Each structure stands twice: as C-alpha cells, then as structure tokens.
C-alpha cells in the first residue's frame, strides 16, 4: 500500500508542476522560488452512487481532521491554492459517473468554504469522472495478482473502445470481483492537495503579496445553473417470440425504487377464419421483480432479476378438424432473467418462467359444412401442469424524461 501512496504522490507532483508552469505564463503572477513551495495531500471516499460526505466511512473523519489541522498550522494567508480532484469508479453509465464526480467535487468544495470561508478564492476543482488510470496504478502496485492477470486487466483498460464496452469486458474477467471489492471503493474519492509557502520564505523574500494563478477561475459561492436530470419512469416491452407467431402482446414495467419493479403484460392474438381455424388468446398477468444489482437512474431495469408472477387467460384454438378447443387457464410461478442494453435507446431482455398451470378445456367439432361449431359433451375437464410456462426474448423501450434542478451550492 505504501507503493500505491508513492504512485499517487508522483501523480500529484506532475499535476502540480504543470499547474505551476501554466500559472507562471500569466502576466503579473509572482511565485516564491528556491524550493520553498510545498504541498500536502489527502483524500476522502464516498459510498457507491453517493456524493454526500459520510464522516464515518473509510476514515473520512480522520482525513478532514487532518485537513483542518494542516490549514491551522500553515495559516490561511500562506496557502497558495487547494486543488480538489473528484472521481468515480468505472461502473455504471459513463455520463452519469461524470455528473457524479461533479457533485462530489461540489460537496467537497462546499465543505471547505463552509469551514474556511477565506479559502473560497483559492480552490480549483476538477471533476475527473471515471478513473481508469487510478485503477491501473492500483493493479500495478498489487502484489497478489499474477502477471497474466495484470496483462488481461491492462488490455481492457488500455483498449481504445467505448467506455461501456470496456466495462462489459472488465466484468468478464475472473479478477473483476476482486477489483470491485478491493479497489473500486478507493476510486470513489476526492483528492485534496494544499499548495503553500513556508512562513520563513515569505519573510525572507518580503513579497508584497502572493497572487493566484490567473489562468484558472477561482471557485465562488453562487447559485448553480439548472442541472438536467433524466429518470426512467417505465418501460414498454414486446416479446419477440410471441410476435414471431403473430401473438400480439405488450408489457409495461414500472420501477419501484432501485431494486424492485412491477410488470403487467397482455397477450391478445385474436385471429380467426370462419369456423375453420382460430388463434384467439387473451392473457393478462402481473409480476413483481427483484433486481440483484442496485439500479442507477436513468438506466434502471438492467442486469439479472428474479420474480413471482400470476396470470390468467381464455383461449379458442382451432385448426380445421384436427384441433378444436376452448377454455380458460391460470398460472403462478417464478421467473429468472437478464436485461442488457441494446444500443442507445433500447434494451434486450431474456427470461424464462416455471410454475403451476390449471387448464379448464372444452372440445368441439365443426359441422359438415363448417356452418356452426358443435360442443362435444364427452371431451371436457381440467388438467394440471407443473413445468416451464413462459419463455421471452423481449425488446424493451425505456420511457425516460428530463427535468431541471436548480439549487444553491458551491460549484466550479
């Protein structure tokens, strides 16, 4: 772990060197030279899909206490600037993670301004989004992973592909669970770096003032511009297997929270030709689903799920004189399935159900000239069945809408 901290410090040194060189290019900027410019860094961590600062999480209380002690020891007037880099772990939608890192940056800059108002003009915030680079550094410093395992991880991280594709490839690695448990929580962070001058150096150079870099906008307290948010309110579906046999159908699924949803389906093929053939089924059902992975707006209803369903139907099925039945049935059972993104606007869902089915049936025969259907008094009854009851390959169209949120806060 000491190697990891060294790598992180090297990263900050490179970043701060570029930061200082860019600042020197600005007219009227004064910096104390001779190695008197110093820095100290620390970091805080966030829970999964959260941007609120939890002091009881991963030593955040100790980190912020250290930050306060350092500011008191250095003195606000000797602080040159404070750089805050906020990140998210590379899981979930890419754009959402960028916004999440921005919210984490706003949280931390707001905390600093609240505790030390005089530092407001010295903050520089960088929402960095998904940090594949930091994940790579952790892997490089890991002594438990084999060379082959590291090579496979590097191959995924360094691939020049869409971030969503990169995440899909990462999940297929045998080491993904280990990375998710060990390093992903550390990447959900905000890293602080305090640049300051020693008091002795300031007295020796007797500089009239220390000017901030002019190439970066100082962080100020102001009313944030309206933020656009997208949420999924429901999803429309059709089972392509039913569609292939002209069994018209649709399904409406409504998310309830991040891990539960309720789906209502309707199957309604109603075709017939005289008294020679008929394909008439009216089936309605409801299903409650539990999603194994907590969903993230606006991309809910993705991943693996299980459910409990209940459905009932009436039917009229006929093919000439070979097959002629009418009746009703009901069924209850369990469902297991998986839903995955299919392009930008659709999902593709696979599911199978098993359960109990009770069927009431009545047989009939067409008359000689097909004028009427005659009920067969000797063929009727009820059958019970336990086994597979439904198979679905569904095209899913999520229904999303965008709204604006405006709130007070500290933002770059």
Residue among 326, 333, 239 at smallest CA distance from 281: 326
**Longest distance between any two alpha carbons in the chain, whole Å:** 116
The answer to whether 2-223 and 231-403 have equal CATH topology is no
- Write down the pLDDT at residue 49: 82
Q: Cα–chain-centroid distance for residue 321?
A: 55
pLDDT tens, 190-204?
887 777 776 554 444
Global pTM value: 0.47
Query: Can you tell me the distance from the alpha carbon of 311 to that of 305, in angstroms, rounded to the nearest whole number?
Result: 19
Contact of 263 with 251, CB cutoff 8 Å: yes
Domain 2-223 grouped into CATH 1.25.40.80: no
> Mean per-residue pLDDT for 124-131?
81
- Find out whether 315 and 335 touch, Cβ atoms under 8 Å: no
Q: What does the mean pLDDT of the chain come to?
A: 79
What residues pair up with 239 in beta bridges, in sequence order?
Answer: 394
pLDDT average, residue stretch 386-394: 96
Distance of CA 289 to the CA centre of its chain: 19
Q: Which residue has the higher pLDDT, 388 or 120?
A: 388
Which of 170, 163, 15 lies closest to 95 in space, CA to CA? 163
Percent of the chain with pLDDT over 70: 80
The pLDDT of residue 209 is 40
Please report how many Cα atoms fall inside a 13 Å half-sphere around the Cα of residue 175, on the Cβ side: 19
Q: What is the mean pLDDT of residues 308-336?
A: 94
Q: What is the pLDDT of residue 22?
A: 39
pLDDT band at 206 (very low <50, low <70, confident <90, very high): very low
Q: pLDDT tens, 14-68?
A: 444 444 433 433 333 333 333 344 555 678 888 888 888 888 888 888 888 888 8
**pLDDT at 407 exceeding the cut of 60:** no
State pLDDT tens for residues 214-267: 333 333 333 344 556 788 899 999 999 999 999 999 999 999 988 999 999 999
Q: Where are the domains of the chain?
A: 2-223, 231-403
Query: Angle at CA 98, nearest 5°, toward 225 and 161?
Result: 140
pLDDT at 394: 96
Residue 353 is predicted with a pLDDT of 97
When mean pLDDT is compared across 4-8, 145-149, 351-355, 406-410, the lowest value belongs to 406-410
Is residue 248 classed as helix, strand or coil in its secondary structure? coil
- Long-range CB pairs of 68-72 (<8 Å, 24+ gap) are 68/115, 70/40, 70/194, 71/116, 71/119, 71/194
Contact in structure between 170 and 90 (CB atoms under 8 Å): yes
Phi-psi region of 49 (alpha: psi -120 to 50; beta: other; left: phi over 0): left
- CATH number assigned to the domain covering 231-403: 2.40.160.20
């Amino acid at each position: 772990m000491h190697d990891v901290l060294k790598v992180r410090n090297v990263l900050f040194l490179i970043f701060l060197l570029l930061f200082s060189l860019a600042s020197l290019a600005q007219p009227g900027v004064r910096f104390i030279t001779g190695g008197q410019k110093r820095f100290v860094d620390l970091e805080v961590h966030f829970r999964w899909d959260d941007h609120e600062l939890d002091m009881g999480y991963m030593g955040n209380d100790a980190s912020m206490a250290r930050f306060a002690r350092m500011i008191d020891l250095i003195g606000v007037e000797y602080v040159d600037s404070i750089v805050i880099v906020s990140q998210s772990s590379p899981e979930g939608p890419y754009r959402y993670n960028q916004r999440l890192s921005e919210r984490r940056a706003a949280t931390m800059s707001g905390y600093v301004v609240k505790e030390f108002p005089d530092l407001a003009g010295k903050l520089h915030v960088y929402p960095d989004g998904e940090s594949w680079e930091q994940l790579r550094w952790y892997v490089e410093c890991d002594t438990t992973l084999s060379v082959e395992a590291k090579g496979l991880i590097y191959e995924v991280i360094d691939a020049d592909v869409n971030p969503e594709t990169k995440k899909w490839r990462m999940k297929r690695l045998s080491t993904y669970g280990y990375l998710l448990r060990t390093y992903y929580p550390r990447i959900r962070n905000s890293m602080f770096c305090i640049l300051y001058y020693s008091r002795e150096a300031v007295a020796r150079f007797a500089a009239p003032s220390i000017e901030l870099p002019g190439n970066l906008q100082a962080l100020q307290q102001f009313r944030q511009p309206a933020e656009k948010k997208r949420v999924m309110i429901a999803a429309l579906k059709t089972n392509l297997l039913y569609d292939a046999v002209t069994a018209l159908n649709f399904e409406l699924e409504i998310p309830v929270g991040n891990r539960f949803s309720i789906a209502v389906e309707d199957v309604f093929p109603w075709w017939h030709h005289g008294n020679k053939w008929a394909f008439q089924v009216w089936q309605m059902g409801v299903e409650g689903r539990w999603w194994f992975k907590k969903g993230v707006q606006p991309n809910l209803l993705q991943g693996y799920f299980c459910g409990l369903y209940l459905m009932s139907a009436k039917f009229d099925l006929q093919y000439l004189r070979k097959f002629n039945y009418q009746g009703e049935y009901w069924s209850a059972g369990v469902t297991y399935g998986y839903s995955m993104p299919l392009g930008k606007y659709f999902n593709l869902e696979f599911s199978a159900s098993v359960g109990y089915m009770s069927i009431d049936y009545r047989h009939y025969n067409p008359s000689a000239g097909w004028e009427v259907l005659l009920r067969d008094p000797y063929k009727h009854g009820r059958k019970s069945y336990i086994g597979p009851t439904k198979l679905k390959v569904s095209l899913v169209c999520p229904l999303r809408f965008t709204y604006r949120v405006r709130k007070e806060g500290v933002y770059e």
